[in-house]
Amino acid sequence: MEWRGLTADELEAQYNPRRAVPDFEVHFKAYKERSEQSRARHLGRYDIRYGTGPLQTYDLYPGAKPGAPLFVIVHGGYWRGLDKSLHSFMIEPYLAAGCAVANINYDLCPAVTVDQIVRQTQEAIAHLVKHAGEYHADAAKLVLFGHSAGAHLAAAAYALPWPADLGPRPDPAGLALVSGVYDLEPVLHISVNQEVRLDGAMAARNSLLRQPLKLKAKTLVAVGGLEPQAWLDQSLAFHAACRDAGTPAHAMTIAGTNHFSVLYAASDARQPLTGAILELLRG
């Protein structure tokens, strides 16, 4: 759909998930309860520091044996909210498959900018790759998972320039991107930007639909079927851009799920979305 002709209220309904899903707090409560249960069941290492920012830490669950795939979770929250602790429930099917799992945090807007958060995501990847062997993980089997703004960050870490001071860019085996935001221009026109503080130039340089995509990894682009049409269009357009650039990309629409409930489909081995992610991890 053409978003530029929408009213302010229509833009909020299309691009602000908390407006599109009025009972979003129910899902945050479920995330919290499920995550507490998951952390009680599994022995992890918590708040491992990868950078100097206050929130630059990750939680790590080692692989079942050396050489395990490395599954990295990048949470959403429109770059200005949420926390890795709410996403611990995501670890269950991937630990059961023998993977090492890392769940990363990053500093949030408005304390930092989107530019800085992309850089922090790259720092986290570089740190995890450097220490993969300590976690019974094989860096060559790295798969990044991101939801919402986390999907943007997971893809941007590779679609945007890699900082030279972090050493050679490690190529992932796969990207699993769920209900992501790939064009940041609409964010300039919704209330979320009061905290995100994007300007036109920053939105343009971080918009993945405006970059010459060079993603080599197998890429899964999934989206909740109950998302507003403009949000669905973001995933459709990003998948098409990947395919046009030669990226081996696959699209999935997860019927009956909204922006928040789609995470349940990505954390249950009985669900097709989790199955598709596990296939990426198997190589």
Amino acid at 263: L
Mean pLDDT of the region 152-156: 98
How far is 18 from 33, CA to CA, in rounded Å? Answer: 20
Confidence of residue 122 (pLDDT cuts 50, 70, 90): very high
Give residue 213's pLDDT: 85
Confidence of residue 1 (pLDDT cuts 50, 70, 90): confident
How far is 201 from 30, CA to CA, in rounded Å? Answer: 37
Q: Residue 50 maps to which CATH number? A: 3.40.50.1820
Give residue 211's pLDDT: 85
pLDDT, tens digit, 9 for 90 and up, residues 234-257? 999 999 999 999 999 999 999 999
Neighbours of 271 (CB within 10 A): 17
Mean pLDDT of the region 130-150: 97
Q: What is the mean pLDDT of the chain?
A: 97
pLDDT, tens digit, 9 for 90 and up, residues 44-77? 999 999 999 999 999 999 999 999 999 999 999 9
Mean pLDDT of the region 111-130: 98
Q: 26-30, 148-152, 158-162: which has the minimum mean pLDDT?
A: 158-162
- pLDDT at 275 exceeding the cut of 90: yes
pLDDT, tens digit, 9 for 90 and up, residues 72-107? 999 999 999 999 999 999 999 999 999 999 999 999
> Percent of the chain, pLDDT > 70?
100
Mean pLDDT of the region 144-162: 97
Write out 71-88 in H/E/C secondary structure.
EEEECCCCCCCCCHHHHH
The total number of structural domains that make up the chain: 1
Compute the CA torsion angle 32, 33, 37, 38 (nearest 10 deg).
Answer: -40
Neighbours of 167 (CB within 10 A): 11
Write down the pTM of the prediction: 0.97
How far is 105 from 54, CA to CA, in rounded Å? Answer: 10
Mean pLDDT of the region 186-202: 98
Q: SS3 of 110, please?
A: coil
Confidence of residue 117 (pLDDT cuts 50, 70, 90): very high
| Distance of alpha carbon 25 from the chain centroid | 20
Q: Which domain holds residue 232?
A: 3-282
User: What DSSP element (H or E) covers 199?
Assistant: none
Mean pLDDT of the region 109-137: 98
